[in-house]
Structure 1
Amino acid sequence: MLNHDSLPAHPSPLPCFSLRQGDAVDWLRAIPAASLDLVITDPPYESLEKHRAVGTTTRLKHSKASSNDWFKIFPNARFGELFAEVYRVLKKNTHFYLFCDHETGFHAKPIAEAAGFRFWKPLIWDKKRIGMGYHYRARYEFILFFEKGKRRLNDLSIPDIIEAPRIHRGYPTEKPVEVSEILVEQSSQHGDVVADPFCGSGSAGVAAVHHGRHFLGNDICAEALEITRERLLTAGAKDRVPAPFQ
């Protein structure tokens, strides 16, 4: 369970965050059932190894475009246990967003549905800048949109293509905060708890606290958590367990 040692008796009115280092599934298992309002995540998917094998990415060991080492992949074989835990920890009538490439998307969709989620559609993140590849060079990424129960989006006028330039020379696979801000605003309310079991450099967390949400993050990489903590503190959040988990 989350560590509650030495916490103040009364919750702060400012957004709070709590970060942990470890395996994503193990971290989710320590969170009480039906306690999260939104999950946004971007696992290091298995098909990255395929891209590396054919030369469409060089960033599985160390990135020349970044000062950060790459990370271990999360294998497709573990999606079943991951999605089962995400479903368990989400409250009823909530949303779940999964960043992925086209290959991982086709693999992940039926597994998430088997865990209980309703799949709505893939959102498209248009990166505005062309990437690597051979057969039509990559400029987009999927964000799979899942639902537990039934929840209306906060703004039905938002399109299913989200435009934001890719991050150049950032943390490996870093996502623009602007993309996650749309997901946070669409699928949560002020004071809700947003979680990311593969938080990386913390873009989803920054988006959450920018809009008055609390954030729970986990990553296997200590450096990622250091970057995330600094970004969240700079955004004005308190480094403490959010009130619902105290």
Structure 2
Amino acid sequence: MSPPKYRTILADPPWDIEQKGKRGAQEHYQLMTLERIKGMPVSELAADDAHLWLWVTNATLRHGYDVAEAWGFTVRSPLTWVKFRLGLGNYLRNSTEHLLFATRGKAPVQFHSQPTWVQAPVQDHSHKPEEQYALIERISPGPYLELFARRRPPHSLGQPPWHVWGNEIHSDIYIPGYPVPDEPRDAKASPVAITAAAAATVPETSSNQTLEGGTP
């Protein structure tokens, strides 16, 4: 089965940079090295004209640009999540995270009034704001894919359902070399395998189709 082509991809990698120790992310989930993250075949999942939304911490901000480039995207702007509470930090106390917005091909935005910050409540560890999905759907076209997902995104009326991939959720796609718990043995036969159920919900995307909207 041919791999799908997603016009918008959201990713929240489990960075191993400055995340070790008793209060680090390694206490909550398995981490990945920068090279492993950069090596993911995300470019094979994305349409020729596509958007990428990539979560980074203050410690991984510059590495996020490298990851986006390795995946075939160019970062256009960071969107900063303002938490309004003191976090951890060796020098300054972290109270923000950033969602890098990147594009490839002819990929204008659908909404032009989004500022470069968003305020949302902090929940449990690494739980990103639920508001991210509505924000992304307002700016970027579907079909949508979330990488490193931990829960299935809500389905908005009039939007295609999100597909997900990750260790903590039933995945809709399988990426060879990056196994997830429910991956079938024959998933490695394809560059990017997709479940039959997921394939039925992915609309066809023309490789030379221009996304609606204006310039970023």
Q: How many residues align?
A: 178
User: Using CA pairs below 8 Å that are at least 6 residues apart, which structure has the higher relative contact order?
Assistant: 1
The corresponding residue for 1:178 is: 131
Aligned partners of 1:44 and 1:74 also within 8 Å: yes
The corresponding residue for 1:42 is: 12
TM-score normalised by L of structure 1 = 0.64
Which of 8, 25, 32 is matched with 2:3 structurally?
A: 32
Cα shift at 1:59: 4.6
Cα shift at 1:245: 7.1
Partner SS, residue 181 of structure 1: helix
Gaps of at least 5 residues in structure 1 are 2-30, 62-69, 227-239
1:195 aligns with 2:195: no
Which of 210, 222, 239 is matched with 2:156 structurally?
A: 210
CA distance in 2, matches of 1:155, 1:216: 22
Gaps of at least 5 residues in structure 2 are 172-196, 205-216
Which of 26, 32, 35 is matched with 1:60 structurally?
A: 26
Partner SS, residue 106 of structure 1: helix
Aligned partners of 2:58 and 2:96 also within 8 Å: no
Partner SS, residue 135 of structure 2: helix
Partner SS, residue 122 of structure 1: strand
Partner SS, residue 202 of structure 2: helix
1:76 aligns with 2:34: yes
CA distance in 2, matches of 1:59, 1:117: 27
Equivalent position amino acid for 1:42 in 2: D
Q: When you count helix as a share of all residues, which structure comes out higher? A: 1
CA distance in 2, matches of 1:133, 1:102: 10
Aligned partners of 1:201 and 1:225 also within 8 Å: no
The corresponding residue for 2:110 is: 154
Which of 141, 147, 164 is matched with 2:97 structurally?
A: 141
Equivalent position amino acid for 2:145 in 1: A
Aligned-CA RMSD value? 2.6
Equivalent position amino acid for 2:34 in 1: N
CA distance in 2, matches of 1:59, 1:144: 20
Which of 132, 137, 140 is matched with 2:88 structurally?
A: 132
Partner SS, residue 107 of structure 1: helix
Partner SS, residue 146 of structure 1: strand
TM-score normalised by L of structure 2 = 0.72
The corresponding residue for 1:14 is: none
